[in-house]
Amino acid sequence: MKILISGISGKMGQLVKSDVLLSNTFEFAGGFDVIEDYKGTMKFDAIIDFSHMSQTKKVIDFAVDNNTPLVIATTGLTDDDFEYIQKKSSEIAIFHSHNYAYGIQVLIKALNAILPMTDDFDIEITEKHHRYKADAPSGTAKTIMAEIKQHREEVKFIDAYQTKRQKNEIGVHAVRAGTIVGEHEILLASEDEMITIKHEALSKQIFSQGALRAAKFLENKTSGLYHMKDLV
């Protein structure tokens, strides 16, 4: 399977390239940072996008023009971007996730199993990333929030700096420091006990490998919007 990489010069683009070159399943078909600069002639079977949110719509249009499945791993996307992704998924197969780590999907499944049994527990969410991450809370934290909302429709998510918690308020903590790859923790606490669910990314390699699994998943799919939960 021939992979074209959008955002080839970035850290994640280079990781994907390295994984592709070491793989027996994938073949490197080139890459670009800005779509207007792409001069490649080699055929490709899927595009993996680890570029910048300013490029997302252009990359989607490029994928549509080439009738090629697209894996979107760029962070910081807007509601308008998501609407565009949804619209264009009727024309090509698109895979999108806020987090391509397999373990995050396991965490979400565990959370969904626990929530029905902990209606009276307070909840706090903490996410930690490196000092350069621009968006907060993280896309993964927003996914966790959406999962909780399905079980507790009345909840309100607030910035964690507020001290006292009102009923049905959930504090969301965003930490930006050092070179933290990514850490997400959900704390559930009652009067006398506490449950913690935590996922920590030890390297960015898991995101590259997850994106490649997503690309393989899209093989032979002609349209539709897919997510990591479809892989787990």
Residues classed as catalytic: 129, 133
Q: What is the CA radius of gyration of the chain?
A: 19
| Residue 30: strand, helix, or coil | strand
C-alpha span between 5 and 114 (Å, rounded)? 38
Cβ(26)–Cβ(1) below 8 Å: yes
34-43's contacts with Cβ under 8 Å and 24+ in sequence apart are: 35/6, 35/59, 35/62, 38/62, 40/4, 42/2, 43/2
Cα 154 to chain centroid, rounded = 26
